[in-house]
Amino acid sequence: MREPAGEHRHRRHAVAVLSAHAVATQVITFVLRPTMAYRAIELGVPAAWLGLLGASFAIAPLLLALPAGHIADRYGERRVAVAGALLLTASSAAFLTLGHTVPGLVAAGILLGTGHLGCVIAQQALVANTTRRGGHDTAFGRYTFAASLGQAAGPVLIAVFGGEQAIPDTGRIFLWSCGLSAVLVALSAALARSPRPEAGEREAGGDVRSLLRRPGLTHALVTSCVVLAAVDITLVYLPALGTEHGLSAGTIGLLLTVRGLASMVSRFFLGRLSRALGRRRLLVGSTVGAAVAMLATPLPMPLWLLAPVLAVLGFGLGVGQPLTMSWLAESAPPGLRGRAMSLRLVGNRTGQLLLPGASGLVAAGAGAGGVLLLTALGLGWAGLAARRLPVDP
C-alpha cells in the first residue's frame, strides 16, 4: 500500500534535513580534529603529546555515551541534537579564543568530542526510531553515506585555507567552524520528531543489561568495533606502508581516496545488497572479504593491482558499520534504541583507543605490514563470529 503524497513529502524532507545534519556534523569534526593538531604544532607541542590531544576527543564518548542515549530515549533526539550542536559551537569558539595554549586545546577537544557524541547519538536514534521495520538497512546505508561525505569534505576546507603552506591558517579555520556550527544548530532545531514510547513501553523494554543479554548482540558490537578500528588503522598505517615501499604521498592519497569511495558505494547500495544476499551473509562476506584484501595489501604488487585490492577493502569495511546499526535498531525495543546506539559507540571508542595502541607495539617490531596483517586476522575472526548473529533479530 502506497503512503499518501503528503506523508511521502514529509518523510523525504525529514530525511534531507537529517542527511544535511550528518554531513555538517562530520565536516565540522573532520575540520577541527586535524586543525587542532596543526595548532599544536604551531605552539611547538612535542609529537608525543599529539596523541594526548587526540585522546581528549574520545574521552567524552566513553563516559557520556550511555547517559546521552538514555536522554535521547526519554526526552527525544532533537533535544540531544541541539545540545550537541551548541557544544560544537562552544568547541569552535574555545579553539578560536583559548587555542593559543595546550590546556585550551584540550578543553576545546573535550567539548568537540562531547558535541559530536550528542549529534551522532541523536542522528542514529532518529534513524532507528523513524524507519519502518525492514527498511533499516537502506536507511542506515544512506545515513552513513552522508556521514562519509562529510568526512571526505571536511579536509577539503583545510586544503582551501592551507594552500601551499605546510601549516594552514588555523585561526581562519576556527572562525569558519563557528559559522558552520551555527548552521548545525539551525538544522538540529529542524530535525523531525520520532514517536515517543509510552512509559509502560519504556519499562517493558528493560535496560542496558537486558540489551546485552539479547542473542547475538555481543557479536554485533565486536564486529562493529573491529571494523571501525580497522578503518582507523588503515588511515594511519597505509601511509607508513607506502613509505616502506617507496610510494609517493600523492599515490597514497589516491589509494586512500579509492578506499573511501568504495566504502561510500557499498553504503549507498546497502539496502539492495542486503535484500539480495541477506543481512548476515552480507556482513560475514564483506568483513571476511575486507580481511583477505588487507592480508594482500602489504604484499609487493604493481599499483594497478593494489588499487582494486584497496577498493575491495573499502567496500567491505563500508558495510560493517551501517549493518550493525541496522541490526541493533531492529533488535532493541522502542524506548531503548538510543541506548543501543550509545552502547555500540562505547564499544567503538574503546576499540579506537586500545587497538591502535596495540598496533603501535606491533609496528615497532614488524613494521606497517605486520600491523595490517594482525588487523586482517582480527577482521577475519570478527567476520566468522558474525555467523552467530540471528538472521532476523
Report which residue type is found at 242. Answer: G
pLDDT at 290 over 80: yes
Q: What pLDDT score was predicted for residue 107?
A: 92
For the chain, list the domains and their CATH numbers: 14-193+213-387 (1.20.1250.20)
Query: Considering the chain, what percentage of its residues have pLDDT values greater than 70?
Result: 84
Q: Can you state the angle between helices 303-331 and 217-245, rounded to 10 degrees?
A: 160
Residue-wise burial string across 325-338, b where 16 or more C-beta atoms lie within 10 A, e elsewhere: bbbbbbbbbbbbbb
pLDDT band at 181 (very low <50, low <70, confident <90, very high): very high
For residues 377 and 319, what is the distance between their CA atoms, to the nearest angstrom?
A: 18
pLDDT digits (tens, 9 = 90+) for 352-385: 667 656 666 665 666 667 778 888 888 888 888 8
Q: Can you state the angle between helices 136-162 and 249-268, rounded to 10 degrees?
A: 150
pLDDT at 258 over 90: no
For residues 18 and 6, what is the distance between their CA atoms, to the nearest angstrom?
A: 18
Q: Are 279 and 227 in contact (CB under 8 A)?
A: no
pLDDT digits (tens, 9 = 90+) for 72-107: 888 889 999 999 999 999 999 999 999 898 889 989
